[in-house]
Amino acid sequence: MTKKWVYLFTEVDQAEAYVGGSWDGVRGLMGGKGANLGEMTRIGVPVPPGFTVTTEACNAYLAAGDKFPEGMWDQMMAALKEVEKASGKKFGDPANPLLVSCRSGAKFSMPGMMDTVLNIGLNDETAKGMIQLTKNERFVNDSYRRLVMMFGSVVLGIPDEAFEEVLDSYKAAKGAKLDTDLTADDLKEMIARFKAVVKNHKGFDFPQDPFEQMRLATEAVFHSWNGKRAIDYRRKAGIRDDLGTAVSIVTMVFGNMGWDSGTGVAFTRDPSTGEKKMFGEYLLNAQGEDVVAGIRNTEKIANMAKDLPEAYNQFMDITRKLELHYRNMQDVEFTIERGRLWMLQTRDGKRTAAAEVKIAVDMVDEDLITKETAVSRVTPEQVDALLHPQFDAKTMDEAEKKGQLFAKGVNASPGAASGQVYFDADTAERMAKEHKQAVIMVRPFTKPDDVHGMLAAKGIVTSEGGATSHAAVVARQFGVPCVVGASMITIDLEKRVMTANGALIKEGEWISLDGATGKVFVGELKTSVPNLEEQKELLTLLTWADEIARLQVWANADYPKDARRARAFGAKGIGLCRTEHMFFETERLPTVQRMILAKTHEVRQEALNELLPFQRSDFAGLFNAMDGYPVIIRLIDPPLHEFMPDEEKLFEEVVEMRVRGETKGLAEKENLLTAIRGMHESNPMMGLRGVRLSIYMPEIVEMQVRAIFEAACDETLKGIVVKPEVMIPLTGTVKELEWIQPRLVRIAKQVLEEKGVKELSYKFGTMIEIPRAAVTAGEIAKVAEFFSFGTNDLTQMTFGYSRDDAERNFLIKYVEEGILEKNPFQTLDRGGVGRLMQMAVTEGRAVRPALEVGICGEHGGDPNSIEFCHLVGNNYVSCSPFRVPVARLAAAHAALKHGKGLTQDL
């Protein structure tokens, strides 16, 4: 039996059975659009009769070198018969013609990226028949000229402009402003002229055979899966290339049949803010493309209540039903034909990050979805976007006062951006990619061909179009700040300038735009980071994420203010305080240098005694900020030369002094230079640093441990709950720990005794950042009370890639060439570094079952790496304070995907 390639909208049950019952499977097979047309039919929503050719058919067609798979066309013809029965019309029959649209639709929506052809079935004969039936010659001629134009451009590949020029010059000659000003006879003339365009470009006539039209349109849709813009979009959206598109053949219904007809698009909630109110536009006496193209000014959907009250009420009922059914905000397209409402499409609506969060939280409150669903709907990237820079109100006020306001349009996609203006997608992309510029793409309006430029841009401005225009939809989806319909801007594409509000901006000059207010400014404005505390819905969502997650999220913070921010962002501990950062402060550095250069123990100790109070107050501030939570303090890690003046600069100074014959201070400088040269190492990252330095020069860490425990005791005595954890970096063998740790523990105990503190829970542990430590973790865990993976160094040492140099030269090429899937310094290398981690956790816990395990390398804030940390059995991940909210969500996603259990097969 040949395979079933075609499903009627009434056969969605069969499609579901074929894919084993999963809705995801149905979407994969019929495409999102086809699946939803079937589903709407199943739940009794009025959908024009039709059928879907599957994505499997598309893939088979493309794989066979553009040949329909066996049986597909026959099945389409059989389905067409059923559609004819349901609609009471006949395809190609002049007496009562059935017209159809041929629509693309992949599993994941790719708005405007692939092709669609309307009014298939019209030819010279059926057009005559339609005129007889409808008594509306203007409407029929309009539909026919649209078919010739769409078919010409989409199926036959003739540039749009060839048709637009003909139309525009005709309109100009006639003095017609809008398409609706054209009469039936004008449109008849257009049909003839458009046909001539086809003939001129292709050398053959526009096909009159309706079946030929359907066949060619189906092929064109299949091909559009591999069009440039579809491929660009898939790359950015992370959609696989092998999914293919389905083709839905849908009975045409007409919104341009008179003033009791119309068409529109709507979102069931506001896609910008998430507010629960219908958001959309419609046009009376128009066809769908008129709304999307923004050629005529649309009306707000609420006005439909007075224009077409019955259809409006039915529309509101149906959209409520659809939201309840899909339990998500819907993006719908509809047409009213002579008072009768038809739903042409429903899909989960694209929305901004803020709207995503608000809708998810609201829907939990409305009992539509569970907290788990709400958390799983929001992506880490969306949370990230909500923490992205914005212009604050004051900056914008000041800019306005200074006369920098250039234009105002529709606030289509929030976020602030500044950059250099470019007026076409190719230049915008080139300037962003090759010249590394911050780019703002400015266009009259955008089309799917412009997507590559839009994705490369930091912001988008259009002078035409509305909140559901192409520019707005694409920008919102990818979180690119965008202002549309800024109609006071006049763009001169020839001269490469734009003007508004008395100002002229040339290509390459700077502007700033605020996607939240729709304002565009001349010049570069300063951005500020949004306040998480004010984002109530996000805070609620993240609290749910914490309930779901097993992994805790801690933060890397060196100063009390960072710790406070981390805590406000939801961190449950400090996973890494890099103590050496405190040594770099201006008033401390000379003492640190004196300590390093000391020739005797006494001189060194004296300098350290000066540093101790500084360190003690640093740690006290951290403990205070993290009251009740653990704070991991890492003992000094970097090579000593990092604290010393730059050798080359010092040398230059010495030479200069000698040349000028200056003697004052010369001897000191010369001595310093000799000392620095004495410290020189060829590979300092692998030299005297970390625990090695502590063993070589124990006085520094002895001072640090004293400072930690004095601060801990002082804070404890004030009633703060302090949980210090002392972390020894760069351990390679347990012998190192056996040498240093007991000395440090002795100091801790001594301080506790001195301060009279009886109860203080503290730990001594180590970083696992050298492969040998991971491999011998069983031995190390006998001494270390906790592990923290320093995956920056562990990645460096596992690959043997210098973390300071690799990204500068070969690493990016490695990723481009596919030698590495991802940059391993950003996303944890599961196959190598990850296996070392797994080994370390298993062996460590075999010796010390309650061993606390965390990660404090950069990977601790990366969602993919966080998932791995969940799988490997970490207790927490630690990342920069700004990444804490994203990490909390990622930790919840990992638990939702893999369960909360500790032991996992990797």
Three-state DSSP at 725 gives strand
DSSP alpha helices (H): ranges in 402-488? 425-433, 451-456, 470-478
Nearest to ligand PEP of 323, 793 (CB atom): 793
* Least distance CB 695 / ligand PEP (angstroms): 18
d(CA 573, CA 553): 7
**470 labelled catalytic:** yes
Binding at 856: pick from ligand PEP, Mg ion, none (beta carbon under 5-8 Å per type): ligand PEP
| Number of residues located near Mg ion, criterion CB under 5 A | 3
CA–CA gap between residue 886 and residue 888 (Å, rounded): 5
DSSP state of 526: P
- In this structure, the strands spanning 552-556 and 876-879 are parallel
Residues lying near ligand PEP in the complex (CB under 6 A) are found at 576, 578, 637, 769, 790-793, 856-857
Pair 266, 288: CB distance under 8 Å? no
For residue 628, the minimal CB distance to ligand PEP (Å) is 24
Residue among 162, 191, 222, 159 at smallest CA distance from 5: 222
Q: If 0-12 CB within 10 Å is exposed, 13-18 middle and 19+ buried, where does residue 160 land? A: middle
Alpha-carbon distances, residue 323 vs 280, 366, 376, 433 (angstroms)? 15, 12, 18, 41
Shortest distance in whole angstroms from residue 16 CB to ligand PEP? 48
The answer to whether 790 contacts Mg ion (rule: CB under 5 A) is yes
Radius of gyration of the chain (CA): 34
To Mg ion, the closest distance from the beta carbon of 769 in angstroms equals: 5
Whose Cβ is closer to ligand PEP: residue 399's or residue 879's? 879
578 makes contact, choosing from ligand PEP, Mg ion, none, with CB < 5 to 8 Å by partner type, with ligand PEP
How many CB atoms sit inside 10 A of residue 701's CB?
Answer: 23
User: According to the binding rule CB under 5 A, does residue 793 interact with Mg ion?
Assistant: yes
For residues 577 and 559, give the distance between their C-alpha atoms in angstroms, rounded to a whole number.
8
Structure-token match 């900020």, residue found:
625
CB of 769 to ligand PEP, least distance (A): 5
How far apart are alpha carbons 507 and 528 in whole angstroms? Answer: 26
261 binds, among ligand PEP, Mg ion, none (CB under 5 to 8 A by kind): none
Q: In whole angstroms, what is the distance from residue 108 CA to residue 233 CA?
A: 11
Q: How far is the CB of 792 from ligand PEP (least distance, A)?
A: 3
- Distance in Å, CB of 794 to Mg ion, minimum: 8
Tell me which stretch binds Mg ion (CB under 5 A): 99-107, 176-184, 211-219, 782-790.
782-790
Helices (H), 203-303: 210-224, 228-237, 288-293
Residue among 789 and 876 whose Cβ is closer to Mg ion: 789
H-helix or E-strand spanning residue 460: strand 459-462
Judged by beta carbon distances under 5 to 8 A according to partner kind, the member of ligand PEP, Mg ion, none in contact with residue 290 is none
Report the residue number, 296 or 578, with the smaller CB distance to ligand PEP: 578
Residues 606-665 that bind Mg ion (CB under 5 A): none
**Which of ligand PEP, Mg ion, none does residue 353 bind to, with CB < 5 to 8 Å depending on kind?**
none
The residue among 352 and 795 lying less far from ligand PEP, judged by its C-beta, is 795
Q: In this complex, which beta carbon is closest to ligand PEP, that of residue 381 or of residue 804?
A: 804
Q: Which of 58, 102, 452, 470 is catalytic?
A: 470
Please give the helix or strand (H or E) that residue 885 lies within, else none. helix 884-898
Q: What whole-number distance in Å separates Cα of residue 410 and Cα of residue 400?
A: 18
Q: Which is nearer to ligand PEP, 420 or 704 (CB)?
A: 704
Is 715 strand, coil or helix?
helix
Check binding of 580 to Mg ion (CB under 5 A): no
Q: Distance (Å, rounded) from C-alpha 144 to C-alpha 250? A: 17
Choose, from 102, 482, 713, 856, the residue flagged as catalytic: 856
Residue nearer to ligand PEP on the CB measure, 180 or 864 = 864
Q: Say which entry of Mg ion, ligand PEP, none residue 702 contacts (CB below 5 to 8 A, set by partner kind).
A: none
Tokens of 602: 């006494």
Q: Which does 857 bind (CB under 5 to 8 A by kind): ligand PEP, Mg ion, none?
A: ligand PEP
Report, in Å, the least distance between residue 555 CB and ligand PEP: 12
User: Closest distance between ligand PEP and the C-beta of residue 578, in Å?
Assistant: 5
**Which contacts (CB < 8 Å, 24+ apart) does range 361-368 have?**
361/537, 361/540, 361/541, 362/274, 362/276, 362/537, 363/327, 363/328, 364/544, 368/323, 368/324, 368/327
| Among Mg ion, ligand PEP, none, residue 852 binds (CB under 5-8 Å by kind) | none
Stretch 749-778 residues interacting with Mg ion (CB under 5 A): 769
58 catalytic residue (yes or no): no
Question: Of 459 and 857, which has the nearer Cβ to ligand PEP?
Answer: 857
Q: Which residues bind Mg ion (CB under 5 A)?
A: 769, 790, 793
Show which residues are catalytic.
Answer: 470, 856
